[in-house]
Structure 1
Amino acid sequence: MASDLTGSYAYSDSLKGIHFGPGSTATALPKLLDALGAKKALIVTGRSLFTKTDVVKTVEGILKAHDAYGATFYEIGEHAPVAGIRRGVQAFKDAGADVIVSVGGGSPVDAAKAILHFVQQESGAPAPFKQIAIPTTLSAAEYTMGAGFTDDSGNKVAVASPSLVPAGIILDAQLTLATPERLWLSTGLRALDHAVESLYRPGVPPPLKHLCYAALADLFTYLPLSKAHPEDVSTRQKLQIASWMSIWPMQLEKFVAFGLSHGLGHRLGARYGIPHGITSCLTLAPVVAAKVELGSPQDKEWLANALFYLRKPSTGSVDGDVLELSKSIQQLVNDLGLHSTLSQYNVPKEDVQQIAELAVGKKEDPAFVKTVAILEALYE
């Protein structure tokens, strides 16, 4: 095992540490609890991870050994329905918890943020409670201050605050071995979506854009390797680090949205039951292609330069290189066996214009017609 796949990193008082390495949970979790002064933890996770694997039991055992286990709450469904979050708030109180340890993919991580958000609302001020995230997918929800959950009407709701950013993150590839292949690989495309859209996301400084290029290169390299050799922990650890690079924690005064691929994903995901990783498999490649028409010269240049990091020759033009990047993304999706259509998820064609309007903002927006065309092509 390469030594650079194990270590830790911290950059502010709010982020006590990102610990990484196979088997790192056993030592990192107690360190983070001590750093936070936390005494009792509520584990927030999903039902499948709790009932079908030993991952949660492993975390429970570590907490119990340090007399820090409060309870486990596993009623978190895909897209984090608000009913489950309300029950999570009550579970947090009943356990007398002062920290949440989330275990799983983006839904438990976002649900933990939302639980803390509701606790803050009830107290009338930012509560001193924090989250330690132990992700088992590549969705990278643990690096942001935003959380998405589904309201009672099935609509996606977002909350964001610097106080919701996890105070600790543990990237333990050993705990990802139980993650289903389709979930693991498709959330890798979600990480790719973060990296690509960060190339034109407002507020991302150039040094972090170059980190996104590194993430792109590693995701293109190691996702196929992980599919071919799913038990290779070293490859999985490299993918977790690539996911981290795709959305490196930034100190932002307010949440800044990504781009159209994410916007469409939010509209398609909760309403039609499409996993976030799969929405990225659907939307990222065509959205990148659309940047030829809709993107600024600067945005297109950042996208075109990605070919160099993927070790692909330039086509000789910026627009051609952007289209080549789009084709490369789609080829990766296909090679990973992740090609999907909106027909598979029973998205009514009559909903297309409404989805486009919700994602873009207004029908008068020049991007509206192009967005409709993107969605219509996703039925094939």
Structure 2
Amino acid sequence: MSTPDAPLDFAYESRPARVVFRPGAAVSATPDAVARLGLRRLLVVCGSRGEATARAVADALGDSCAGLHAGARMHVPVEVADRAVEVVRAAGADGCVAVGGGSAIGLGKAIALRTGLPLIAVPSTYSGSEMTPVWGLTEDGAKRTGRDPVVQPRSVVYDPELTLSLPVPLSVTSGVNALAHAAEALYAPDVSPLVSLMAEEGVRAMAGALPAVAAAPDDLGARGRALYGAWLCGSCLGATTMGLHHKLCHVLGGTFGLPHAQTHTVVLPYALAYNAPAAPRAIAALERALGTDDVPRFLRDLAGRLGAPRSLAELGLTEADLAVAAVQVAGQPPPNPREVTEDGVFGLLKAALQGATP
């Protein structure tokens, strides 16, 4: 990647976390992560789909496990978070291990936010949430997000074997979700040279790995490369401010109940097309990473070729929902390289609803 022409002027905050990355690490390395943090009673949290994996982690913790709570749900409804906090307090836990995708790690973060307990993350998808201090809660049809260092996992255990059972369609959308973190970091107001390097490498790794994962889902090497890409992309999200793309996805998920990773996958090409005129340096970095001169179309075609949805209509959104979403997004506009207007958001969403060429 070329160095910036302008004088360097940036801030970069490194967050304390220990990362272990190897096949089999979920069972072999999580007890060590617990011991290093001096913890003695851990509540393991997960969703219903990942309960078997979480049980294996809980068993590996032995006497250090204070119980398993399989109550995680997408977008972390506030009542789900309330119940998990009750469980962790009743168990007398001094820490939490979240095993699974973004929903499980999101629930672990909600527990950390409410209790201050340290969190260990064992991700089984490519969501990247484990590398960020970002939390989210959904209440009364609206998703709130924020940043707090207390929710940043103190230790992250990456085990590519956990992703072998991730179905190909979810692997693809989860991977594009990760890609979105890196893509938006490239034009964030607080981007730095280090983040730009991580973002470009993360996009390159993920875009190269996903076709291999789709072709051979049991290829541990391809799974590992995708998880490596997710780590880099998540680190970019943790170090920068979210823009229009993430705001759109949070509104569509929190207000209309659209599935998280699939929504990211559909929206990303349109958000990038919207921002491209105002973010030439970011688009140039994505062109290098992807080997294309049309980033939005490349990403839309990649997702479609690998079987992912390509329109918001496929996810259940209707034309009547567009105006409501546009008002919500433009009413509280995020930092973004191009001005966020109600008309602009409506046009973006209409194209994404139909799955038109971005």
TM-score (norm 1): 0.84
Letter in structure 2 aligned against 1:143: M
Letter in structure 2 aligned against 1:284: L
Aligned-pair CA distance for 1:218: 1.1
Question: Matches of residues 203-218 of structure 1 in structure 2 within 5 Å?
Answer: 203-218=190-205
SS at match of 1:103: strand
Is 1:359 matched with 2:329?
A: yes
Is 1:130 matched with 2:118?
A: yes
Aligned-pair CA distance for 1:18: 0.5
1:290-334 deviation per Cα after TM superposition (whole angstroms, max 9, x unaligned): 1234x2xxx21221232223234xxxxxxxx4xx11111111111
Aligned residue number for residue 223 of structure 1? 210
Question: Matches of residues 179-218 of structure 1 in structure 2 within 5 Å?
Answer: 179-218=166-205
Aligned residue number for residue 29 of structure 2? 28
Aligned-pair CA distance for 1:12: 7.0
> Bigger CA drift: 327-336 or 23-32?
23-32
Letter in structure 1 aligned against 2:16: S
Aligned-pair CA distance for 1:68: 0.5
Question: Paired residue for 2:251, among 264, 267, 273?
Answer: 267
1:82-123 deviation per Cα after TM superposition (whole angstroms, max 9, x unaligned): 11111100110111111100011111111111112122xxxx
SS at match of 1:159: strand
Letter in structure 2 aligned against 1:350: A
Residues 304 and 325 in structure 1, CA contact (< 8 A), matched pair in contact too = no
SS at match of 1:218: helix
Residues 262 and 308 in structure 2, CA contact (< 8 A), matched pair in contact too = yes
Residues 44 and 100 in structure 1, CA contact (< 8 A), matched pair in contact too = yes
Is 1:97 matched with 2:93?
A: yes
Question: Matches of residues 161-172 of structure 1 in structure 2 within 5 Å?
Answer: 161-172=148-159
Residues 300 and 310 in structure 2, CA contact (< 8 A), matched pair in contact too = no
Is 1:106 matched with 2:102?
A: yes
Aligned-pair CA distance for 1:272: 2.2
SS at match of 1:102: strand
Separation in 2 of the partners of 1:177 and 1:270? Answer: 29
Aligned-pair CA distance for 1:266: 0.3
- Identical columns (%): 28
Residues 330 and 340 in structure 2, CA contact (< 8 A), matched pair in contact too = no
Separation in 1 of the partners of 2:203 and 2:300? Answer: 14
Residues 171 and 237 in structure 1, CA contact (< 8 A), matched pair in contact too = no
Question: Paired residue for 2:344, among 370, 377, 380?
Answer: 370
The Cα RMSD (Å) is 2.0
Letter in structure 2 aligned against 1:39: R
Q: 1:291 to 1:251 in 2, by over 3 A?
A: closer
Separation in 2 of the partners of 1:102 and 1:362? Answer: 31
Give ranges in structure 2 of 5+ residues lacking alignment: 1-12, 334-338
Aligned-pair CA distance for 1:183: 1.9
> Bigger CA drift: 334-343 or 365-374?
365-374
Aligned-pair CA distance for 1:13: 8.0
Aligned-pair CA distance for 1:362: 6.4
Aligned-pair CA distance for 1:165: 0.5
Aligned residue number for residue 59 of structure 2? 61
Is 1:302 matched with 2:282?
A: yes
Aligned-pair CA distance for 1:375: 0.8
SS at match of 1:147: strand
SS at match of 2:69: strand
Aligned residue number for residue 235 of structure 1? 222
Separation in 2 of the partners of 1:267 and 1:366? Answer: 14
Residues 244 and 340 in structure 2, CA contact (< 8 A), matched pair in contact too = no
Aligned residue number for residue 318 of structure 1? none
Aligned residue number for residue 379 of structure 1? 353
Letter in structure 2 aligned against 1:148: G
SS at match of 1:305: helix
Q: 1:213 to 1:101 in 2, by over 3 A?
A: same
Aligned length: 337
Letter in structure 1 aligned against 2:249: G
Aligned-pair CA distance for 1:25: 2.2
Aligned residue number for residue 283 of structure 1? 267
Question: Paired residue for 2:297, among 319, 323, 327?
Answer: 327
Letter in structure 1 aligned against 2:190: G
Separation in 1 of the partners of 2:180 and 2:236? Answer: 16
Give ranges in structure 1 of 5+ residues lacking alignment: 1-10, 120-126, 313-320
Q: 1:220 to 1:366 in 2, by over 3 A?
A: closer
1:36-68 deviation per Cα after TM superposition (whole angstroms, max 9, x unaligned): 110011011001221xxx31221011011xx21
Q: 1:287 to 1:250 in 2, by over 3 A?
A: closer
Aligned residue number for residue 3 of structure 2? none
Letter in structure 2 aligned against 1:79: H
Q: 1:251 to 1:45 in 2, by over 3 A?
A: closer
SS at match of 2:71: strand
Aligned-pair CA distance for 1:366: 5.4
